[in-house]
Amino acid sequence: MPPTLLYDLSKVDFRKIVVSQEGIRAIIPQRFEMEMLTGIVHEDDTEDVIIGVKDVRADEFWVRGHIPGRPLFPGVLMIETAAQLCAYWTMKRRPQMGFIGFAKCDEVRFRAPVIPPAKLFIVVKTIELNNRRAVGKCQGILNGNMVFEATITGMSV
């Protein structure tokens, strides 16, 4: 049985950036090679869902070594991209929490490779949010198909 998507993707205009990379930079501190998010394409406060995009490019730092002649976007960077989106969503709505650091990752499944060039969309649905931590269910979507899923916990640090 195929996995269930966290959100009805028919509600999303994937071509429209609602928060630019500069807007993301105003909230989270990652820069240079570790800046994963390209933009935000959808925010739904009612369902507590955010969707971001990562432009996976052939000139990124990891391409030369992972895997020579057949670059595959590393799973750990998919998870980092999702963690940054979780942190952005939490820090935007709860700035009093300060920086949200990566604390835990559970229920990870990689379902398909991501090969540059590609637009990887990340869907995050917050399932728990309190004054110390945030937990989000995350899915990576490529060409309408789920390529990974995980549950990510972030802590106020």
CA distances from 6 to 22, 51, 117, 130, 149 (A): 27, 11, 25, 21, 10
Q: Which amino acid is at 79?
A: I
CB 152 within 8 A of CB 138: yes
Cα–Cα distance, 8 to 52 (Å, whole number): 15
Of the residues 66, 93, 94, 119, only one is catalytic, namely 66
66 is catalytic: yes
Active site residues: 66
